[in-house]
Structure formats: C-alpha cells, structure tokens
Chain A
Amino acid sequence: MSNITQQQIRTPKSLWSESYDRLKKNKASVVSFWFIVVICLVALFAETLAPYPYYEQYIDDILASPNSKYLLGTDSLGRDMLSRLIYGARMSMAVGIFTAIISLFIGATYGAISGWFGGKIDAVLMRFVDILYSIPTLVLLILVKVIFDSLNLFEDPELKALTGILLALSVVGWVNLARVVRGQVLQVKEMTYVEAAKAMGASHIWILIKHVFPNILGPVIVLLTFQIPANILFESFLSFIGLGLQPPFSSWGVLANEGWRSLRSFPHLIVSPGIVLFLVMLSFNLFGDGLRDAFDPKMKK
C-alpha cells in the first residue's frame, strides 16, 4: 500500500475525456476525422477554391479529358469537373449533416417522450413509428419530395431543392433514431441517479435534459455518424432518379448520375465523383467505428 506513487493513482476522468483518449489512439479514426474536416472546409470555401464557376459552359472544351487546364476534365456541356465536384461537396455535405441534425432533433424528442412516459403514450407513439417503418423508404421519400415540391414555398430554386431533399430525408431518417433513443431512455430511467433526481422533486424536462440525455449521447452520436453517409447516398439516389437537385446545380449524386450515363465512353466523368464519394463514406464509417469503440470499450472485447 505504501509504495503507491503519485502517478499510479488514476486521476478521475470524465466519460468524455476518457473516450477522447481512446479515440486518439485509433489512427484510422483520426485520419478520417481530419479528412471529413477538410471536405467540410472545401464545401465552405467552394467559391475561392473552385477554379471556374460550376455552371459555366466552355463550349469549345466539351468532354475534355483531364489536362492542365481542367484538372479533372470537363463534362458533356463543357463544365469544369473539379469545380463541380467542389461545389458538389457543399450540397452533399449540407444534406448529410443537416439531415442528421434535423432527424436527431425529431427522433430524440420523440424517442425520449416515448421512453420516459411509457405506458399508453409509449404504445401509441411506437406503433406510429412502426407504421412509418413498414412503408418502404423510397416510396416515403418520393412522396414527401413530390408533395413539398408542389407547395412552392421558396422562390430560390437552390434553396427549394435543398430544403425539399432535407425534409424528405429527415422524415425518413428520424424513425431509426427515435427507436434507439427510446431504448436508451428505458434503460437509463431505471438508474439510481434518476430515481434520486425524482426524489428531489425535479421536473420531467429537467431530468431528461440534465440526467438522461448526457448519458445516452454516446450511442446516439455513433448512430449519427452512420446516418450522415447514408443521407449523402440517399441524396445521390434522389438525384439519380431525377427527384434531387435541378440543373445546373451540382452535388456528388448529380455528378455520379451524369457520369454513369457516359461511363462507357468517357469514364473520367464517373471516376472523380466516385472516388470522392467512396472516400467520404469510408471516412464517416471509420470515424463512427472509432467513436463507438471509444464510448463503449467493453464492446471491443
């Protein structure tokens, strides 16, 4: 007992800083994280980074292969692929991240109410989720998108297309989150500290915000990192079937769709968006994996 040194006494650390330390040790996650940061920066500063406007058509350079003037070549209307890819990052990342935030907001509130109050409320709310869950995602997506488009809420076409996609994806995305959050809340609400808070006379909302949410955040964040790439893919898919962005706006989905059409003759149109999509998906997944391991070290064993 007496030879315990100062170093050996573990200074108590919060769950957060402990998780952070574990995450730092995972090289792949760190690299992925920085890659995502870089892509986000590219999306933010698209105007300064893109060598040409994304909509400008250089008619004399149609379908140029990658060269010194156009690093990634041009598309079938003579637009610079690199610029379109950079602007595409903005749309795709916006869709991915904002959709995740909106679905988190709806899903967490819904799931928490359901799990916390339990009983009849829980039964009703969860049956509704089941119903949504049973509708094929694609059908629901198309339905929401078409209805939203027919409302004509926004003048600006870019904003209109973006909000339409955000809404459609959020409507689909929150269901999963609601289920996970409910499950976690059910677990946490039996904890002694919650009981203690109840005994002290704290209100429902206070307990939920102060005691329940911080303790379920781990799994939720992990779920989000998986949801973001899924959203980006869904946006690609919507654009692919013509329900996404309208021309001349660019997203990775739009680019992949256009590139795929002339895959046979001009592969450079699909290669660059394909590689970027692949790397971003991979990064989000690796980062999500790292986060999960960091929050829940037991799972790894």
Chain B
Amino acid sequence: MLKVLITFLLALSFLACTKKDKQSGSNEYGLKNSETLRIVVDREPPSLDWSIATDTESALITNNLMEGLVAYNLKDPELSLQPALALKWTSSENAKKWTFKLRRGVKWSDGVEFTAQQIVDSWVRLLSPLTASEYAYFLFGIKNAKEFNKGTIKDSKQLGIKVSPQGDIQVELESSMSYFPYLLTHSSTFPIRLDLIKKHGVNKWTEAGNHVGLGPFNLKVWEHDKVIILERNERYYGEKAKVKNVLGYIVGEKSTALNLFDNGQVDAVKDLPKSELRFLAKKKEFIKESMLGIFYLGFNVKKAPFDNVLVRKAFIHAIDRNEIVKVLGAGEVPLKGWVPQGMFGHNNNVGLAFDVAKAKKYLNEAGFTDLTKFPKIEIGFNTNENHQRVIENVQAQLKRNLGISVDLKNEEWKVYLNTLKSNAPHMFRMGWVADYPDPDNFLNLMTSYSDNNHTGWGDTQYDHYIEEAVSVADKSVRKLIYQKAQKILLEKGASVFPTYSMVQTHMVSQRVKNFPVNAVYQFLFKDVELEKAK
C-alpha cells in the first residue's frame, strides 16, 4: 500500500512541475533558467568555420560569437550600418578605394589582441582556391580577387588589401562598389586567427574549447547533433550581453521543438511549421516578420530533358505560384522576378507567368507530343516538412496541368548540399536569404562563376550585366540593369523558377524582451533580456 502511495505522490510531483518552475529552476546542463536564453537550433551546423559555412544555422551561432568590421543598425528599418571593429570608414575615387579605421585595444576571448592582419588573413583565406569557400565570390570586388581565387594569381600580396602603417585596412576594388561596407557585415569576412587553425587543425579549431571569438558570446559547449551552449564573453569590447547563457537545442523536428516550447523548456522556436501556422497564429507568443529571402526551384540544365530551354519554360508556365502560397498560408508573396519583396530591384513584371496553354505548346515544340511518354524526372529537396509540402504541391500541379508524374527525393541537408554540387537532380529546391540587402546578392548567385549556381546555366551577357551594375552608384540606373539581367535569367535562360518571397514566423516566450527579428535574419542575442518569472 505504501509503495502505491509513494509512486502516486512521485507521479503527482512530476506533474506539479509547471512551466513556471522550468523558467526559474535550472536545466540539465546546470544553467540557471533565469539567466539562460533557450532556443532551438534547427539542425546541426555543418561548420562553424566562417570562411566555409553557408547555411543559416551556422550563421546564427557565428554571428553571436564573432563580429566584423561593420554591423547593421538593426533598429533602423532601412538597415543602415554602424561601427563594429572598424570605428569609421571612408571611400575615395567613386567608392573604388576604401579605408577602414580599426578600433584599438580589442581583445579576443583568449586575450590576444585584435589586429588588422587578422582581417587580411581571413580575406586571403576566404579567397584562396585551397579553401574552396562557396562565399569566395563575396569579395570578388576586390582587386585581383577573382584571379587569385581561380589560381591564375598565386601571390596574395597582389590582392587589393593592405594594412596601412597606422594599422588601418585599405581596400582597392576592381571597380566602384558603393555597397562594399555592407559585405563586411557578413560572417565570411570576419577576422580569423590563423595561429589557432594551425594549432588545432582545420576541422577541430571550431570545437568548443578551441574556438575563440570577438563577439558578445563564447562557445562553451558543442555536443554534436545535441546541444550548443554560448556563454557571455566578458572580454567583449562593447556593451556586454544581458543574458549569461544561450542554450541551443539541436532539434530537427518542429513538433518536438513546439512541445518543448509549450512545456516551457525553450524560450523561442524559429520558423514555425506551416501546417500549424493557422493554429499558432492565434497565440500571443506568435511573431511574424518579412524577410529578404526567396524560395526557388532550379533546373539542372546539363540533364535531359531540361537541357532544352523550351522544356524548362514549359515547366515554369505549368506551376501556379498562387497555389503554392495558399498551401503555405503564412502570407508569403508569389515571386516572378528574382529579387525579394522589400528590396530595390524587386519586380514582378519580369519572368514567366502561370499559363498552361503556353506550357503545352512549348512541350509540343520541344518534341514531346505524347506527355505520357515524358522521361522520368526527379525533384530533389532537403528534408523539411514545409519544403515537402511545397514540392508535393508542385508534383500535384505538374500531374494535373501537364499529366507528367515526377518522383520526389529528399535528403538530409548536408548530404543534399553535396548532391547539388556533385550531381544535382533534374529539378531541385533551394532558397536564398540576403547576406547584404542589395539585389546584387541575389543576382550574383546565378552568374556562371558562382559556386551557389547549381543549375549549370551560364550566360556571358548576364555575367556582364551583374559586373556592370556593381560599379554604378545611381540606384535607378542599377535598377534598369538588374531588370535586363533578370530578363535573361528568367525569360531567356529559364534555368530557375522563383517561387515566393519569404516571411519569417516565430514563437517567442513572453519572458523574452528584445528578441531579435529583422529582415536580414540575423539573430543577435546580446540585447535580449529575460523577465523574472512571477
């Protein structure tokens, strides 16, 4: 009898652990919940090496561990720049030469002084063909950078990057580039410590314990595929972070993440699953914000039948973007052009619209008169329930509108990226979120030399327009050039199918103040404050 009673009481006491206890007590890692912001990291970051990482989760962590020369003023809706490691910057010769005056006396989290050479090291490493970084094109504006990346120039001294006798960074560009400082908000341009990479090795220097940063937080724990813990960096030069720890649970399944949220075990869940939006949007913790990102489908133009531009056009004409947006239901905006809504250069008058009759006509012209005999094609996507929903809808639309059945293939993110690089499927899903708020960031993706262009498509005229546009200071002129470039990409080449402009939706606990949501998708946690549980 006593046994039964004890069991019963134990069970009761477990039930009695309410949300409030979980906000005030401490968690399994011994961190006090009252001073720990607990978030969900959507997948294991492929790499915390900021010269190499390309995905949002790696960026989320790195942006809190590191800082660059300049930073966004996130309080400004137009996202102006504010000083970070550089105190001020000036340009000369029509924005062709730039000088960045560095902050003095800044120390890395291991006490080593921050120097201009570390910036140079990072940029040379980013551009080096040995690093093979997908973001190398980021600095292609710098003099001789493209040649250095190709390997035709071997000596990094010939790059347009110099340290002045006063210890400032001097950059010489190939041509004028008025938005150059914006590039330096991006993690791939952050200073780097070659001595640490040498000491720990290329794969190990980003592990907890080895990792050293300049940002408001330090990497305390990284249990792979499980958890990442950041701890306030007391050596940070600026205003110290308000929360002591950031605890990131690596949870791929959104419903699991939301259960953790409902239980009060995490404070924020990013990017809500679309299937639950209609339900979650009614809650007081729901947050919605537009973002500079696009979702698109790419065609592998090296693979039949998509080596034929008519077939590509036909497929684009056969898919109704409005239907996809309806399926998602979070207020996404159908996108015909290549530049997301909310950015200059956004234009929904270029590109190919939904038109089944035209689609059938093009397929006929391409020689596919009997669509039941259309070759087997495969659409690839990375495992994610939101993507799956879109791709399943595309599959249904192609079946309904053209009578063509397609196979779907999903892969885990890291594997998927490798597949895209080595042997992209006939059609594949991809997305892009702005690294810097300029159309160049989006149009650059599809240049023939971009490592993020998995379509195999290239057009010299297009490349030319993109290069021309960055040297023009006048926004209205640039807009015209970008319009012409988009016409080539979307109407002549038809190698991509821009689908929609993204929105972001999050659940954030009421105890979190100043949770960072912004159009550039930078989650900087240093200003976050936690209210005491009442």
Contacts and interface: CB of A to CB of B under 8 A. Distances in A.
B74 to A, nearest CB: 31
A264 B258 contact: yes
A265 interface: yes
A262 B408 contact: no
A77 interface: yes
Interface in B268-321: 273-276, 278-280
Interface stretch (A22-30, A54-62, A123-131): A54-62
Contacts, number: 67
A56 B399 CA distance: 10
B323 interface: yes
Nearest to A246: B408
Interface string A75-87: 0111000000000
Contacts of A59: 323, 326-327, 393
Interface string A243-267: 0001110000000000011111110
B275 A265 contact: yes
B263 to A, nearest CB: 12
Given A246-B407, A261-B255, A56 B276 contact: no
B90 to A, nearest CB: 53
B376 interface: yes
B516 interface: no
Nearest to B278: A63
Nearest to A63: B278
A86 B19 CA distance: 41
A242 interface: yes
B408 A265 contact: no
A269 to B, nearest CB: 9
Question: Could you say which interface size class chain B belongs to?
Answer: 20 to 34
B396 A265 contact: no
Interface string B233-260: 0000000000000000000011100110
A190 interface: no
B156 interface: no
Contact of A62 (B254, B329, B383): B329
A56 B407 CA distance: 16
Interface in A187-207: none
The binding surface of chain B is classed by DSSP as helix
B388 interface: yes
Contact of B327 (A77, A246, A260, A264): A77
Nearest to B259: A264
Interface in A129-157: 155, 157
Nearest to B326: A59
A261 B280 CA distance: 14
Contacts of A63: 275, 278
B260 to A, nearest CB: 12
A57 B280 contact: no
A266 B279 contact: yes
Interface in B382-422: 383, 385, 388-389, 392-393, 395-396, 399-400, 405, 407-408, 410
Contacts of B376: 155
B100 to A, nearest CB: 48
A57 B280 CA distance: 23
A198 B209 CA distance: 77
Contact of A247 (B254, B259, B279, B408): B408
B163 to A, nearest CB: 52
Contacts of B323: 59
B407 A242 contact: no
B327 to A, nearest CB: 6
Nearest to A263: B255
A56 B396 contact: yes
A265 B329 CA distance: 15
Contact of A261 (B262, B385, B395, B396): B385
A77 B399 CA distance: 15
A55 B406 CA distance: 13
A10 B279 CA distance: 68
B266 to A, nearest CB: 15
B389 A76 contact: yes
A157 B409 CA distance: 12
B276 A264 contact: yes
Contact of B392 (A60, A155, A247, A262): A247
Contacts of A155: 376
Interface in A32-67: 55-57, 59-60, 62-63
Contacts of A77: 327, 389, 392-393, 396
A57 B259 contact: no
B245 to A, nearest CB: 28
Contact of A265 (B276, B399, B400, B407): B276
A248 to B, nearest CB: 6
A265 B410 CA distance: 25
Nearest to B388: A247
Contacts of B326: 59-60, 62
A266 B258 CA distance: 14
A76 B255 contact: no
A247 B258 contact: no
Contacts of A248: 392, 395-396
Given A63-B278, A247-B392, A262 B255 contact: yes
B327 A242 contact: no
A155 to B, nearest CB: 7
A262 B396 contact: no
A186 to B, nearest CB: 46
Contact of B278 (A57, A261, A264, A265): A265
Contacts of A261: 253-255, 273, 275, 385
B407 A262 contact: no
Nearest first, the 4 A-B pairs at minimum CB distance are A265-B279, A76-B275, A265-B276, A262-B275
6 contacts: A242-B383, A246-B408, A248-B392, A261-B255, A262-B275, A265-B280
Interface of B: 253-255, 258-259, 262, 273-276, 278-280, 323, 326-327, 329, 376, 383, 385, 388-389, 392-393, 395-396, 399-400, 405, 407-408, 410
Interface of A: 55-57, 59-60, 62-63, 76-78, 155, 157, 242, 246-248, 260-266
Given A77-B393, A247-B395, A265-B276, 7 more contacts: A59-B326, A157-B405, A247-B392, A261-B273, A263-B255, A264-B255, A265-B279
